[in-house]
């Protein structure tokens, strides 16, 4: 296939929709993003290896009459529209947004979205131009007639601070769309400092969850490129029931003491890639929750925060297993955890299988490598969540505690197939008396290869 080099972002998405994981798409994204390293994030090595069955063009894609050509996909020709960008632009200011930072522009945003989503002339762009927009909770719902549809943010969007306005746990909800692009150099500001004092989840298991800044729900074939999110009230972003979702070049920031401000939380999603991003929050930089499959996290700088986590798992009956997760080429600093898997000591059963943490740099991390199957409880219960086929490879740097490797697995379902390969973690804490690092393991069946600093633990049963 000969790839056209002068493509807009929406044209690139059309190729993704048509080609899925074909290798030619990598060259297109290389051109769009301007960096060769991003290829691994957009069409990740792991996702190419997964290679899901080729799917038909999603509902809503139609072949334009003036198409420029076609490409062969698995022997079948599929039309791809490549002539001009053709975007119909829907500017929120032209639909009544004041952009004065005082008036609530939520209604103008909704009116603009409806017009953009219903556009029938081709791809549409929902534009938030330069300016300061105060916005209460809004929902951008599909399905849309525009294909694809782009949300471009150039200004600053600030969330209203009156919590009573948020009847649902989300500030901006984007849902039910095939072919979404979210991009731009602007900022989503959750103004979370006004709400954080109301978070009592550390002492109250039934606490009220503060609003997520952006929730992506039921999206297929989507790209988030260049998102900047600061000071969310709850999670910065949440990805739920999405398929083939790519997030890259993100900047996500909140103070290290801000509660439950996860950078990106995933659940019930498949084929998700997070790449080339900087995330520093008061909670997990990336949290991969239940019912997720084929997830890739690569080239992410995380800190401060609670690290990159699988879980927590096993709290609710509706949860399903986590399969095939690759976390690779990341740096974690000034964090309470590094590479972490956490499950509740609960009666809910499930499994986490095929987890790889590879080539991770730790800088002043409290628990660089940790499996915690007693998460969320002080009672002596055994988790029914089975963890197996887990690989910690080429993990190096400093630990602020003496226990640099902590594997606390379930008595009922010991961890199996845990690989420790080339681990080199030295002490980087405040103590001048005890500068050794050690490993601690419980109910874990491990195999070791290469460098082991600290020395691999003797497994206790």
Q: Which residue carries 């006004």 as its tokens? A: 194
Q: Residue 110 phi/psi, 5° resolution?
A: -65, -45
User: How far is Cα 367 from Cα 340, in angstroms, rounded to an integer?
Assistant: 8
Task: Kindly state the average pLDDT of the residues 312-330.
Answer: 95
* pLDDT (average), residues 84-99: 86
Quote the tokens at residue 271: 């084929």
**Tens digit of each residue's pLDDT (9 = 90 or more) over 231-252:** 999 999 999 999 999 999 999 9
Predicted confidence band at 202 (pLDDT cuts at 50, 70, 90)?
confident
Residue 388, pLDDT > 60, answer: yes
Alpha-carbon distance of 15 to 413, in angstroms, equals 44
- What percent of the chain is modeled with pLDDT above 70? 80
Burial code (b: 16+ CB inside 10 Å, e: under 16) for 139-156 equals bbbbbbbbbbbbbbbebb
Q: Domain spanning 307-461: which CATH class is it, in words?
A: mainly beta
pLDDT in tens, 433-444: 999 999 999 999
Please report, for the chain, the start and end positions of each structural domain, with discontinuous segments joined by +: 9-80, 307-461
- Over 90: is that where the pLDDT of 41 sits? no
Of the listed ranges 25-39, 160-174, 406-420, the one predicted with least confidence: 25-39
- Give 46's pLDDT tier (boundaries 50, 70, 90): very low
Q: Is-contact 187 228, C-beta < 8 A? A: yes
What pLDDT sits at residue 172?
Answer: 98
Question: What average pLDDT does the structure give for the chain?
Answer: 84
306 is catalytic: yes
CB atoms within 10 A of CB 77: 10
Taking residues 201-209, what's their average pLDDT?
Answer: 79
48 has a pLDDT exceeding 70? no
Angle of CA points 307, 312, 318, to nearest 5°:
150
Overall average pLDDT of the 346-352 stretch? 93
Give the pLDDT of residue 87: 75
Those residues whose C-beta lies under 8 Å from the C-beta of residue 42, and which sit 6 or more positions away, are 25, 26, 29, 33, 223, 246, 248, 273, 275
User: Which residue, among 177, 147, 252, 29, has the nearest Cα to 265 in the 3D structure?
Assistant: 252
The residue among 416, 429, 424, 301 whose CA lies nearest residue 365 is 429
pTM metric for this prediction: 0.83
How many CB atoms are closer than 10 A to CB 333? 18
Say how far apart CA 19 and CA 13 lie, in whole Å.
10
Catalytic annotation, pick one of 236, 265, 290, 306: 306
204, burial (CB in 10 Å: exposed 0-12, middle 13-18, buried 19+): exposed
């Amino acid at each position: 296939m000969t790839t056209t080099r002068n493509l807009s972002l929406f044209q690139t998405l059309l190729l993704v929709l048509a080609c899925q994981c074909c290798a030619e798409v990598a060259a297109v994204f290389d051109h769009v993003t301007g960096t060769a390293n991003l290829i691994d994030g957009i069409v990740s090595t792991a996702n190419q290896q997964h290679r899901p069955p080729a799917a038909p063009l999603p509902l809503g894609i139609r072949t334009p009459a003036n198409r420029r050509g076609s490409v062969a996909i698995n022997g079948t020709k599929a039309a791809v529209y490549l002539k001009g960008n053709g975007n119909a632009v829907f500017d929120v200011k032209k639909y009544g947004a004041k952009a004065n930072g005082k008036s609530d522009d939520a209604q103008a945003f909704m009116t603009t979205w409806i017009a953009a989503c219903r556009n029938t002339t081709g791809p549409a762009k929902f534009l938030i131009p330069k300016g300061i927009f105060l916005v209460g909770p809004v929902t951008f719902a599909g399905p849309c007639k525009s294909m694809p549809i782009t949300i471009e943010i150039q200004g600053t969007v600030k969330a209203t601070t009156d919590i009573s306005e948020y009847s649902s746990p989300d500030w901006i909800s984007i849902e039910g769309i095939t072919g979404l692009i979210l991009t731009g150099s602007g900022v989503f500001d959750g103004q979370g400092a006004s709400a954080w004092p109301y978070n009592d989840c550390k002492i109250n298991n039934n606490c009220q969850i503060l609003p997520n800044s952006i929730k992506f729900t039921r999206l297929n074939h989507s790209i988030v490129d260049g998102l900047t999110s600061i000071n969310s009230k709850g999670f910065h972003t949440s990805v739920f029931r999405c398929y083939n979702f790519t997030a890259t070049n993100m900047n996500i920031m909140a103070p290290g003491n801000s509660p439950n401000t996860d950078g990106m939380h995933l659940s019930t999603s498949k084929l998700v890639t997070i790449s080339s991003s900087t995330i520093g929050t008061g909670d997990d930089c990336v949290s991969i929750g239940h019912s997720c499959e084929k997830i890739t996290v690569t080239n992410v700088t995380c800190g401060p925060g609670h690290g990159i986590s699988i879980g927590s798992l096993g709290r609710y009956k509706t949860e399903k297993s986590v399969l095939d997760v690759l976390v690779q080429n990341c740096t974690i600093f000034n964090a309470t955890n590094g590479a972490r898997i956490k499950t509740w000591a609960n009666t809910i059963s499930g499994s986490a299988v095929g987890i790889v943490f590879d080539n991770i740099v730790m800088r002043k991390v409290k628990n660089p490598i940790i499996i915690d199957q007693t998460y969320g409880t002080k009672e002596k219960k055994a988790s029914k969540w089975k963890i197996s086929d887990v690989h910690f490879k080429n993990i190096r740097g400093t630990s602020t505690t003496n226990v640099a490797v902590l594997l606390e697995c379930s008595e009922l379902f010991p961890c199996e197939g845990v690989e420790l390969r080339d681990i080199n973690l030295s002490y980087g804490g405040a103590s001048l008396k005890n500068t050794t690092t050690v490993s601690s393991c419980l109910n874990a069946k491990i195999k070791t290869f290469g460098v082991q600093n600290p020395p691999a633990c003797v497994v206790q049963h």
